[in-house]
Structure 1
């Protein structure tokens, strides 16, 4: 456990009581006029046409797109710097779903009127990511859930059905690794937010949670969390999780699978399109993530739209969010941007299913998914988790997974107490 202490201490020193340092929220603005929409970089080019439609219909409330870096941690850093300075530059914020609690607790975004948005037609777990302490702080814009990509040609040759449990995945990954010389399984195992997501999914899929729903206590059952960690460390020890996977983020795992170097890979839906035109072509399929005793539970991803507390044009910002999260735009989000929408009915649309065959599986994955730990100090929570799990994967022979889980619980409890 000594290797964990420096990181844990650094996390605890960095973890301030966000509620205590929250800046005083300015008086709500009813102003209208041109607004700025800030979000992560659009890599598909689908955003601007949607903005152009708004601008044509609202010449006095034109929206300007401000793109931040693609990496979520860099996006957050720039947004936080702006909001801590009480800058009026940002009006509408495209937030990673895990930032809702932090930004609300700090007084950087304003609560929204539930009645202004058709939340009842959204996928229920997606709405939960925008709620903090009983209030709606943002509106879901895109969703996301992890999927298991698998080589259906190799499974068919061995008479395997897609795995639904960790035991089945382990057996199949080991067999395919030995017989075809491919890596058995990989996720996102570098020490960053992606590893926190993969561990959260393992914990949930073993039947427990990291934090309570309100983020006020550590809820992990030690034995179940250990089972989730054992699933990952056991794969490294036994070789069906290749050593190179410990350096994988989303892009590396996507490329490894579509180049034919993996039998199974955990990734987001965005990896589906590129895989269809890759070396694996039509030889792959997707299914829900497996779990301890049956299908597992993914972490929820996606983007929520919030209004800056320091915007002078909050009325225009809210109206823009209503437009941008409307049904027809949501259809374009999927059709043109290939991002999972938040409207439930789109997942049952025959035309969209024909174009995006993974939609029924993705819908079930989202409905069974859970938000990542809701905490005003989420960054510190994620840092401790990723550090501990990375240590376990890098040194799978040296320390007991139960000890690692117990130490992690202690560190998380310290962070929760500072909130």
Structure 2
């Protein structure tokens, strides 16, 4: 199956190599092309975007930006963008790219390189700027960062005189005992087979002391011990019931709602889920901390979105000016205060007023700084699909953990070999 899938990728990889051939010689965005622009971004579930866009539109009546909302799931966002860009369509001007897409989109020639001197990269959180750089060129401007957090019912843990779990064993014990006592689900993440499941598995492997691929994605570094421990943690939760079977259908929004509506004791999610929960019936009854790991605090995958300019946009000057405005310090503050999304400017995490309003900021900063980026490769999408499919088979109990891990390692090796 893996070999057939790899063979089907041959044409795409050849096209990718062609894009790479001229990626090093393309000039950065020029000064030409102004007028109305379109921002393509995932669905705004917190309704924070339009007021921010209105501020730009009021100040730039000749260059208004229109919001084009894509699906919530990252995989579906990417699919729509790729279909548009492969056709060299100029409908999208500014693209909100998952940090993992930078290499692929740059390699294919779909986005235009940017001038580093136009962006305050030295003011950003450590490691964040690297997500927008591929082959020593800047291809996008960091817009939001991200790291997974453990949401927990602080009211229940306080009543039980418990601290939030720092290890998987503590999470399992608390989720098992308290979910039965309080008649709610124990723990959930994003377990539907898509990019979210790849992230959850990668975090579990990291939190067991392992890794999946080398940073340059040229070597499979996944050892069977840490991968087995990671998958045992997740599959064991399903078998034992402290991970509800329903959680196998969850993406970010479903897991957010399940926790926010009081149906879960613990949930792994991104920081954007904090704001809606803080304004719900759960206000004052929950908190967040770092993800637990095998022997102590775990490690998140580094997430977030970068803003890039379509190589086929006819209004690149306006698009560049908009991106510089939208990723500036003032707007980054609003990204946090209005949308609950992690900003990329480091100084905002140390602002006393913001910490008072968002008490999770110190924990979030620690989670982001200690997070690990996913491998930088133009073939990341194929790698992610392979991982999520394999892990899903284990979670649905269709395939044993040992067999899943062994087959996954072999499959990853074939992808790497083919790509090389």
Same fold (TM over 0.5): yes
1:160 to 1:418, Cα distance in 2 relative to 1, 3 A: same
- Please list every run of 5 or more consecutive structure 2 residues that lacks an aligned counterpart in the other structure: none
| Secondary structure class of the residue paired with 2:284 | coil
Report 1:264-343 matches (<5 A). Answer: 264-343=266-345
Q: Which residue of 2 aligns with 1:238?
A: 240
Q: Deviation per CA, 1:48-86, whole angstroms, max 9, x where unpaired?
A: 333333344444544333332333222212211221122
Asked if 2 retains the 8 angstrom alpha-carbon contact of 1:163 and 1:290, the reply is: yes
How many angstroms does 1:21 deviate by? 0.4
Measured in 1, the distance between the counterparts of 2:345 and 2:190 equals 28
Asked if 2 retains the 8 angstrom alpha-carbon contact of 1:152 and 1:283, the reply is: yes
Asked if 2 retains the 8 angstrom alpha-carbon contact of 1:14 and 1:380, the reply is: no
How many angstroms does 1:306 deviate by? 0.9
Of residues 15, 23, 42 in structure 2, which corresponds to 1:21? 15
The answer as to 2:100 corresponding to 1:98 is yes
Measured in 2, the distance between the counterparts of 1:271 and 1:172 equals 22
The answer as to 2:363 corresponding to 1:361 is yes
Q: Which residue of 1 aligns with 2:6?
A: 12
How many angstroms does 1:106 deviate by? 0.9
How many angstroms does 1:158 deviate by? 2.8
How many angstroms does 1:290 deviate by? 0.5
Measured in 2, the distance between the counterparts of 1:134 and 1:230 equals 39
Asked if 2 retains the 8 angstrom alpha-carbon contact of 1:211 and 1:374, the reply is: no
The answer as to 2:26 corresponding to 1:32 is no
- Please list every run of 5 or more consecutive structure 1 residues that lacks an aligned counterpart in the other structure: none
Measured in 2, the distance between the counterparts of 1:36 and 1:55 equals 12
Asked if 2 retains the 8 angstrom alpha-carbon contact of 1:330 and 1:342, the reply is: yes
Q: Deviation per CA, 1:335-375, whole angstroms, max 9, x where unpaired?
A: 22222111111112122222222212111111111222322
1:382 to 1:159, Cα distance in 2 relative to 1, 3 A: same
Q: Which residue of 1 aligns with 2:207?
A: 205
Measured in 2, the distance between the counterparts of 1:57 and 1:259 equals 40
Q: Compute the RMSD of aligned alpha carbons.
A: 2.2
1:41 to 1:187, Cα distance in 2 relative to 1, 3 A: closer
User: If the length of structure 1 is used for normalisation, what is the TM-score?
Assistant: 0.91
Measured in 2, the distance between the counterparts of 1:176 and 1:49 equals 41
Report 1:114-263 matches (<5 A). Answer: 114-263=116-265
Alignment size in residue pairs: 411
Asked if 1 retains the 8 angstrom alpha-carbon contact of 2:274 and 2:340, the reply is: no
Measured in 2, the distance between the counterparts of 1:109 and 1:82 equals 12
Asked if 2 retains the 8 angstrom alpha-carbon contact of 1:18 and 1:106, the reply is: no
How many angstroms does 1:238 deviate by? 2.1
Asked if 2 retains the 8 angstrom alpha-carbon contact of 1:190 and 1:247, the reply is: yes
User: If the length of structure 2 is used for normalisation, what is the TM-score?
Assistant: 0.91
| Secondary structure class of the residue paired with 2:127 | helix
1:255 to 1:57, Cα distance in 2 relative to 1, 3 A: closer
| Secondary structure class of the residue paired with 2:213 | coil
Which stretches of structure 1, 4 residues or longer, exceed 6 Å deviation after superposition?
none
| Secondary structure class of the residue paired with 2:128 | helix
Q: Which residue of 2 aligns with 1:347?
A: 349
Measured in 2, the distance between the counterparts of 1:328 and 1:375 equals 32
Measured in 2, the distance between the counterparts of 1:194 and 1:10 equals 25
The answer as to 2:385 corresponding to 1:402 is no
